[in-house]
Amino acid sequence: MSQSLTDFSGLIRSARESAVHLELRDEYRVENEVDRFAAWQRGHRLDVDDRASWWRPWLDLVQEVTAKGVAVRRARIVSEPVSEYIAFEHSGTFTNVAAGEEVRWLPRSRASDLLLPGNDYWQFDGRLVQFNIFDGSGNWVRTDQTDDPVITRRCASAFDAVWERAVPHEQFTV
């Protein structure tokens, strides 16, 4: 089970200035990526010149919100050496960048002194946080949302600290 893109699209479309995403796991088993990961494991790679084959409708949504001036940033904290799943994510991240996302990677060893939340999250305009709760195998379980000012400030601070240290996608190698 996963949150539908339809449900999530309303949240990201409501952003006026920013939508930031902090990813903390080395593997995910979300429905919309299982087949793409298996194909990647068999040697399939995305064609830079074939935009129609990229993940839709997510990339269309990113293009839509960035076109109206919303900064969409994603930071991934990863173990090194990276897991096979992270290598898969890295190989396709050029599509996120082409759609308008800014993506950075932070080796986990460089995050030891940072205070981070226990779950991945999206934060919209610094005012609403949606935590994504996964089980131990990387399966999506549910989302929890909060607009508690203390929590939203902590999440914004955590993301900013990660972003400052993280390596831009174009410079990060796996």
pLDDT (tens digit, 9 = 90+) per residue, 75-110? 999 999 999 999 999 999 999 999 999 999 999 999
Q: Are 74 and 46 in contact (CB under 8 A)?
A: no
Q: What is the CA radius of gyration of the chain?
A: 15
Query: What's the pTM value of the predicted model, to 2 decimals?
Result: 0.93
Are 72 and 62 a contacting pair, CB within 8 Å? yes
pLDDT value for 30: 85
Containing domain of residue 87, as a range?
5-171
Q: Residues in the chain with pLDDT < 50?
A: 1-2
Number of domains in the chain: 1
In DSSP terms, 129 is beta-bridged to: 123, 146
CATH of the domain at 136: 3.30.870.10
Which of 80, 90, 77 lies closest to 25 in space, CA to CA? 77
- Residue 4 has what pLDDT? 54
